[in-house]
Amino acid sequence: MLLLILLLIIGSVLVYISKFNFMLVSVNFGSFIISSVPLFYVIVGSILFGLVLSYLVHLITSVSTSLTLRGKNNLIKKEKEEVLELTKRVHQLELTIASLTPPDPNVM
C-alpha cells in the first residue's frame, strides 16, 4: 500500500513538472546532438540517470563491505578454533599436573 501511495505521489510530481516544461530543446552528447527533445524528458532522464548511478555506487560499496565482513567472519572463526584448541591443551596439562602431584595425606 505504501508503494502505491509513493508511486501516486511521484506520478503527480512528474505530471506537474511536465505541464510547465514541455519546451523543445537540443541535447548535446559531445559531438552527438539530439534536437527537438521536450525539456521534461531531459529532466526525467537526468533524474533516472542519477538514481541509476547512485544505485551502482551503493551496490559496489555494498559488495565491498560484504566481502570485508566475510573475511572478518572467517578470521573470527579461525581464532575461535584456536581458542578451543588452546582450551583443550590447558585441560590436558591440568590433568597431567593433577596426576603428577602426590596425594595430600591430610585430606580425609
Q: What is the pLDDT of residue 21?
A: 84
Q: What is the pLDDT of residue 52?
A: 96
Q: What is the pLDDT of residue 102?
A: 74
DSSP 8-62: HHHHHHHHHHHHH---EEEEEETTEEEEEEEHHHHHHHHHHHHHHHHHHHHHHHH
What pTM, to 2 d.p., does this model score?
A: 0.63
pLDDT, one tens digit per residue, over 17-55 is 888 888 999 999 888 999 999 998 998 899 999 999 999
If we measure between CA atoms, which residue out of 51, 49, 52 comes closest to residue 41? 49
pLDDT, one tens digit per residue, over 50-95 is 999 999 999 999 999 999 999 999 999 999 999 999 999 999 999 9
